[in-house]
Structure formats: C-alpha cells, structure tokens
Amino acid sequence: MNAFDKLTEHAKTLSHFNHLAAICGWDQAAMMPSGGNDARSEAMATLSVHLHQLQNQPQLADWFNDAENQSLSAQQQASLREMKRQWQQATVLPESLVKTQSLAGAKCEHAWRSQRSQNDWIGFEKNWAEVVKLSQEEAQIRAEVNGCSRYDAMLDLYEPGVTTAQLDALFSDVKTWLPEMIDQAIDKQAKQPIIEASGQFPATAQKALGQQVMQLLQFDFNHGRLDESTHPFCGGVPTDVRITTRYNEQEFTQSLMGIVHETGHARYEQGLPKLLAGLPAGEARSMGLHESQSLFFEMQLGRSRAFVSHLSHMAAQQFPQHDSKLFELDNLHRLYTKVEKGFIRVDADELTYPAHVILRFEIERDLINGQISHRDVPELWHQKMQQYLGLSTAGNYQNGCMQDIHWTDGTFGYFPSYTLGAMYAAQFMAAMRQTVDVDNVVTSGDLTPIFSWLEEKIWRHGSTLTTDELVRHASGEALNAKHFKRHLSERYLVK
C-alpha cells in the first residue's frame, strides 16, 4: 500500500469516529435527558482525545512527504491537499488542551441552556471565562504556526484563506449603506397592511407542515430526519443528516423558515460527492459556502413570492381553524419579508441580519486578539446594538451577549460565515438566473432544475476546489458583494 492509500485509509478511520461524535452531539442537544450530560461530556472528551491522538500519529508526516512525491491525479492531489490541511490544523494543539477545551465547552454550553432563560450573566461568566481563556490559548498556538494574528488563525478553521483584513473591508462597506436601507424598508412597509399570526399553532401541525416543505425541497428522508432542540442546527453525516428546529405555538413562521434554512444545509450534505465519502475532499468546502446553501434555500428561494405561494396553500391546510386571510399570498409574503429591528439574531429578518453578524465579528475579533476582556462583552454588545440597530441591551443578557450557542464552546471565527454565506447565495442566484427560469421553476412545484444547477456547480465538488475556485466555477467571478446589495435593494426597496 503506497503512502497516499495509507493516508486515505487513515482519513476514513477518522471519519468513522467523527460520524459517531456527530450523532452523539445531536443526541446530546435533541434527545438526551439532562442528567446524562456529565457522563456524556466525559465520553465525548475521551473521544476528542482519541481523535486527536489518531491525527497526531508520528508516521503521518512521513506518509505526507512520500505521497507528495507520488504521481497523483488532479482529484487525488486535491484530496491530499485537504487531508494535509486538516492534519496540520490538528497537530498544532497539545492533547491536554483538546481535552480541557472539550470539558469546559460542554460544561459552559449545558449550564447556558438554563442560565440564558434566567438572564444569569454572573453564573454564565464564571464558566465562559475558562472557555475564552482556552480559546485564546488555542488561537495563540495556531497564530504562531501560521504566522498570522490570533483571530486570522481561528478564521482559517471555518473560512480557509479568508483574513480579518478582507472581512473588515467587506463589512465596512456594508455599514455604509445597510442602516439607511433598513430605515427605508421599514418606512415603506409601514404603509402596507399586514395580518400578524396570532392564536394557537400546534407544534404537531407545525412539524407536519415543515416535513411537507422538506419534501418540496427534495430532502431525502431515507438519509435524514427532523427533530426539535433549543437551538436549531444541522448535524449528523451526509448519509444520516439530522436537522432540528424549535416551535413557538403562538406563531409558525419562524420555525418553518428555520426548517427551510436547515434543509439547505442538509441538501448540501446529501449532495456531496459519494466517491469521496469519508475523505476531507468530500466534505463541504467552508462554513461560508455551507451557509450559502442554507441561505440560498431560506432567503433566495424561501422568501420569494413564488415559493411563498406554496407555503400559503400548505399552511392554510395545516391550520384550518385560522382566518384564511392570514395565509393569502400577499399577506404571507409580507410576513416573510417584514423588516424589524430586533434583539435576536436567529429571528432576524434578512435585511437586519448582517448587523447582528458584524456586531459579533467585531467583538470576537477583539476578544480573541486580546484587545478586550470577556467582562467587556455585555457593555460592548449594548453599545453596538444601539449603534447598528438603535436597541438597548443594558442588563438584558439573555437577548444580548448570551443569546448564541456558538461562544459557549469556543466557536470563535464562525459568525462571519453567515454574512459571507448570504453574499455567496445572492451571487449564485444571479448566476443561476442566467440559465434557469427560477421563478417559473419554483411556481411549477418541481424544483429539480434548481437543485441540478446547485449539484453541478457546487455540491458535487466537495472540497476538491478551493473556495475561490468554487465561487468562480459557479458564478464566473470571485466574491462580489454587489450582488448582495442589489438583491436586498430589489426585494425591499424596489418591489
């Protein structure tokens, strides 16, 4: 067996353990009784250490050196590149730090579930201080190896090749036009009548509606399922994708669009190249591209009039006890494109969402780079919410800096992926419209041409192409934020 084949076999072994970790993580969030958390956390920490040991086996360096001298196909070269990238990311951290981070993150995340609802910043801060300290240690180690800033080193885990300087430029531009566009959209919509969802919308009916929409989006239920959790997410593996949402029986719109969003993640996973299953090259390229697929489903497709016309019929059938005027196309579309300045990122509309992301990016950038303390976060959050959305979070931790799950386990560097994803999604839709009659396809109810385009341009490539190569392949150009601005302007100011 040559070196490349040995590396391939080793990567598939890692994939099998990551498969089990993913399903255990889903169970911990969606099904596990709270009393099982300590034992599960210990087991997951042990698994993390085992994975770390596998990734740090001394013979791997020799195998990579030997494989780089082999005659490989273009696909094999890409596979080798991705295996080496993941190996280099894993080998820089000491085993003790990996285990300590896993335990601290699990403890903080589990306590956060109740602390958030109690607005208990003091209790949360005690656990989070350790998570931040360990994340800064990780960032310092990675930065020294990569020769970059701490935050750039963390960004590279989620967005290979993206730098703080690039994000500063992108987001600085967005801040020049976004606040005014938000105010203009709100003023315009104030003149439009709207019927708000009210009354009871049973969770069972909401779930049935969600599954109906997932079928429209061609989700493969033989290789995935829908469940409920505190924080909506998509997990599992391509052959067993687990998505979750949360239900509010006082309204149905948020959970439904959350399902559409997570189905976008899931379809990307289900569409990844089968021949590269278990290999890094067969995985999603970056979190920004992953978010581009969920936001393509939710924003580009899900909130279009053509798609909402399907939702109006389905919702009317699932909730016959409600006034049918609520579900009429014009009203439902206004509900799904309503712009409102709010506290909660996951409930934010498409137009205000980038403000939530930019706020988090600026805070975590300075936190990881050591320019601020974790104790500064509540006040900085309050200041930036006032600046970007005109809202106060003074003393309101549960709707402020404690609202997200990401920071509880040290996932720093992830938040920019959301707005990068929105930009990619707008660019992909602009490119798709050049060859696909998107509106008529959606109206027909058979969305196959849309998914065929995504499969050909994005899904089937996995990570065999770099992010920039993939974006250029799909759209004919590098990331161009003008498509995002144009999309928002056309949807919220022109139409």
Higher-confidence residue of 452 and 49: namely 452
- Quote the percentage of the chain above a pLDDT of 70: 100
Residue from 31, 420, 443, 462 nearest 227 by CA = 31
Asked if residue 330 has pLDDT above 70, the reply is: yes
- What is the pLDDT averaged over residues 468-495? 95
Interacting residues of 147 by C-beta distance below 8 A, sequence separation 6+: none
- State residue 48's pLDDT score: 87
- In the numeric block, the tokens 């976004």 are attached to 178
**What is the DSSP pairing of strand 234-237 with strand 240-245?**
antiparallel
- What is the pLDDT averaged over residues 458-477? 97
- State residue 49's pLDDT score: 86
Asked if residue 295 has pLDDT above 70, the reply is: yes
- State residue 432's pLDDT score: 98
Interacting residues of 74 by C-beta distance below 8 A, sequence separation 6+: none
Could you say which of 1.10.390.10, 2.40.50.140, 1.10.1370.30, 3.40.718.10 is the CATH number of the domain covering 165-494?
1.10.1370.30
- State residue 495's pLDDT score: 66
What residues are labeled active site? 262
Q: What's the rounded Cα separation, in Å, for the pair 358 and 415?
A: 8
Interacting residues of 262 by C-beta distance below 8 A, sequence separation 6+: 232, 233, 234, 243, 244, 245, 294
* pLDDT (tens digit per residue) in 249-262: 999 998 999 999 99
- State residue 45's pLDDT score: 86
- State residue 182's pLDDT score: 98
* pLDDT (tens digit per residue) in 38-95: 999 899 989 988 998 999 999 999 999 999 999 999 999 999 999 999 999 988 999 8
- State residue 6's pLDDT score: 98
* pLDDT (tens digit per residue) in 301-324: 999 999 999 999 999 999 999 999
Interacting residues of 478 by C-beta distance below 8 A, sequence separation 6+: 468, 471, 472
Please provide the average confidence, as pLDDT, over all residues in the chain.
Answer: 96
